[in-house]
Amino acid sequence: MRSEAAPQLDGLERFASAGKGRGLRARRRFAVGELLLSCPAYAAVLTVSERGSHCDGCFARKEGLSKCGRCKQAFYCNVECQKEDWPMHKLECASMCAFGQNWHPSETVRLTARILAKQKTHPERTQSEKLLAVREFESHLDKLDNEKRELIQNDIAALHHFYSKHLEYPDNAALVVLFAQVNCNGFTIEDEELSHLGSAIFPDVALMNHSCCPNVIVTYKGTLAEVRAVREIEPGEEIFSSYIDLLYPTEDRNDRLRDSYFFSCDCRECTTKEKDKEKLEICKLNDPPSAETVKDMIKYARNVIEEFRRAKHYKYILCLTLTPLVELLEICELSLDKMGAVFEDSNVYMLHMMYQAMGVCLYVQDWEGALCYGQKIIRPYSKHYPSYSLNVASMWLKLGRLYMTLKNRTAGVKALKRAIAIMEVAHGKDHPYISEIKKELEDH
């Protein structure tokens, strides 16, 4: 099946990818940094924590947003944004008023409610579905274990609990399929520092298959997804993005892919595992640790990372008080001390805990502490991640802003320019984020 004639899909086609199902393929050459396609969100929800700083409609970051006169919990750039978002916001507005502080559906539930409403009001194919329709999404229903099925049933219960007035529900079986489709095909929208802004569905972007050696990168301009080449792409070549964080070694990446997307990757990086040794670098000691010691420390690292994620969710997200944040920093520091007896600082498990510690320092405005962690992270990041990585760009950006805050303008300018060099390829030279960073340089 070839794509319909459309400027943003020119030179691309949907095709049957061997062993991968549907895929996206180039019909012409694309240069590094070139835009392959743009896709408006089929449905999107702003995360609750960003309300008031970003528009609920277009996700623009602005001061002086106007709040919804009814629920007073949604904020907009102007009347136009509010009117455009009303068909979706009305799903939540009355419910937010009725439940007050007890209104807390998950982001997945909120997004699914909007998809149901959109399917009712726009049964025809939308501008977001030129190559792939939402109803065509893979659900992997047959691969769901009991735990995942139970989580979906909890989401269905929440959907019925928090949404009723403006929604027509299909039967339970159809809802199970839809939630499974959203779980496998949803996107997380992030800002220039990779902070979470919301969740969305971009059908045409979801057509791309995964590779740990991607040739494109997905970035966001409000609720518009943009796909750009991060290496030269030749005619006939399949377009691959990455579904996961590429910092981690092969086994970890594939564990994540199997758990979330129900497949293992067979890309060159996963086949050769050529970066794994550097990613799992061991301390250079006169008496090197045994293979068993290394294996046990890797197991410990994976467990503490998972424990930290849970602690962060319950204490950092829900409580947001100083004491839990101090506790989280202590977890990081104790883990770094223990792992540091076996791992080099460039080891990805060390980097993970440093990144978490840096995040806590930033939240409590310990700028020197955050800078110290960031300085240790940036070089290994640049080595472990692919070229034009958003993770590397965001770290240079954080470092640049920290340097500027601490009055080290020379280092700040250098770091911000490194961030811009990556972002001009990944985001495009005209992206608002780049304009904002250049203005920061001028202001300092």
DSSP notation for 421-439: HHHHHHT-TT-HHHHHHHH
Instruction: Look up residue 417 and give its two tokens.
Output: 């320019």
For residue 328, what pLDDT is reported?
A: 82
Closest CA to 138 of 183, 174, 108, 172: 183
For residue 3, what pLDDT is reported?
A: 40
Architecture category of domain 281-384 in CATH:
Alpha Horseshoe (1.25)
User: What whole-number distance in Å separates Cα of residue 403 and Cα of residue 398?
Assistant: 9
For residue 125, what pLDDT is reported?
A: 94
Comparing 63-77, 245-259, 306-320, the range with the smallest average pLDDT is 306-320
Q: What is the mean predicted confidence (pLDDT) over 341-359? A: 96
In this predicted model, what pLDDT tens digit does every residue of 90-115 receive, in sequence order? 999 999 999 999 999 999 999 999 99
Q: Are strands 75-76 and 66-67 parallel, antiparallel or unpaired?
A: antiparallel
Instruction: Look up residue 247 and give its two tokens.
Output: 């910092």
64 phi, psi to nearest 5 deg: 70, 35
In DSSP terms, which residues pair with 66 in a beta bridge? 76
Q: Are strands 196-201 and 12-17 parallel, antiparallel or unpaired?
A: unpaired
Alpha helices in 163-194 (DSSP H): 172-185
Report whether 412 contacts 371 (CB < 8 A): no
Quickly state the pLDDT bin for 265 (edges 50, 70, 90).
very high
7 pLDDT more than 80: no
6 pLDDT more than 70: no
Comparing 8-22, 71-85, 159-173, 395-409, the range with the smallest average pLDDT is 8-22
Q: What is the mean predicted confidence (pLDDT) over 325-337? A: 87
Q: Domain 386-443 class?
A: mainly alpha
Q: What is the mean predicted confidence (pLDDT) over 411-431? A: 98
Listed in order, the ranges of the chain carrying CATH 2.170.270.10 are 8-44+100-241
137 pLDDT more than 70: yes
Distance of CA 105 to the CA centre of its chain: 20
Q: What is the mean predicted confidence (pLDDT) over 347-376? A: 96
Q: How high is the mean pLDDT of the chain?
A: 93
In this predicted model, what pLDDT tens digit does every residue of 197-236 receive, in sequence order? 999 999 999 999 999 999 999 999 999 999 999 999 999 9
What's the longest Cα–Cα distance across the chain? 70
Q: What is the mean predicted confidence (pLDDT) over 248-256? A: 96
For residue 327, what pLDDT is reported?
A: 80
For residue 321, what pLDDT is reported?
A: 52
User: What whole-number distance in Å separates Cα of residue 53 and Cα of residue 383?
Assistant: 34
| 8-44+100-241 under CATH 3.10.620.30, yes or no | no
For residue 47, what pLDDT is reported?
A: 96
For residue 226, what pLDDT is reported?
A: 98
